[in-house]
């Protein structure tokens, strides 16, 4: 089990972003923005991965995605998640998302995945996220296809 810290060593997270976004993550500024919560996976005092959470339900508007389903108010959104280069495949991303599931039991957790991002698609599928919408978005000259996935709120009480 890894230790998860909140808003920890943000300058190190920026390095993780630079080294390992793999062309799938764009919004580096979210790391230092107060609108987002950063959950950081820590080993020996050092970040080895992190997740940027947008803790509100209006994420599609904010991220400019043209989704066609309505989002319940008790919803949060994984803005992005990155594991440090050299630390992939050790359960870092799994620990971060499982932590989120515990912390936000009464919330639906959403993410938007590029269909070409094989590892991210496998990760969310493995952790029980289900596809709820599919849409296109222009990025530079390309038309990218995305899937909206949802992990349903567990504890409604």
Chain residues binding ligand COA by CB under 6 A are: 20-22, 24-25, 49, 80-83, 88-94, 117, 119-120, 122-123, 126
Nearest distance from residue 62's CB to ligand COA, in Å?
A: 15
Nearest distance from residue 89's CB to ligand COA, in Å?
A: 5
**45 burial level (CB within 10 Å; 0-12, 13-18, 19+):** exposed
Q: Nearer to ligand COA by C-beta: 9 or 87? A: 87
For strand 75-83 and strand 130-139, is the pairing parallel, antiparallel, or unpaired?
unpaired
Q: Nearer to ligand COA by C-beta: 30 or 75? A: 30
Token pair, residue 55, equals 């803790």
Nearest distance from residue 113's CB to ligand COA, in Å?
A: 7
Nearest distance from residue 157's CB to ligand COA, in Å?
A: 29
Q: Nearer to ligand COA by C-beta: 103 or 114? A: 114
Sign (positive or negative) of CA dihedral 41, 47, 49, 52: positive
Cα dist from 10 to 20, 36, 98, 127, 153, whole Å = 15, 12, 21, 26, 29
H or E element, residue 43: strand 37-43
Q: Nearer to ligand COA by C-beta: 117 or 154? A: 117
């Amino acid at each position: 089990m890894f230790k998860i810290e909140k808003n920890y060593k943000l300058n190190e997270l920026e390095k993780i972003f630079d080294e390992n976004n793999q062309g799938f993550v764009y919004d580096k500024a979210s790391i230092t923005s107060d609108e987002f919560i950063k959950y950081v996976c820590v080993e020996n005092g050092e970040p080895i991965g992190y997740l940027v959470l947008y803790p509100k339900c209006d994420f599609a508007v904010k991220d400019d995605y043209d989704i066609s389903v309505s989002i319940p108010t008790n919803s949060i959104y994984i803005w992005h998640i990155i594991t440090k280069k050299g630390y992939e495949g050790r359960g870092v991303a799994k620990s971060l998302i499982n932590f989120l599931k515990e912390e936000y039991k009464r919330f639906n957790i959403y993410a938007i995945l590029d269909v070409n991002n094989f590892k991210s698609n496998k990760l969310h599928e493995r952790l029980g996220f289900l596809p709820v919408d599919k849409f296109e978005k222009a990025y530079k000259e390309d038309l990218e296809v995305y899937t909206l996935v949802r992990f349903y709120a567990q504890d409604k009480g």
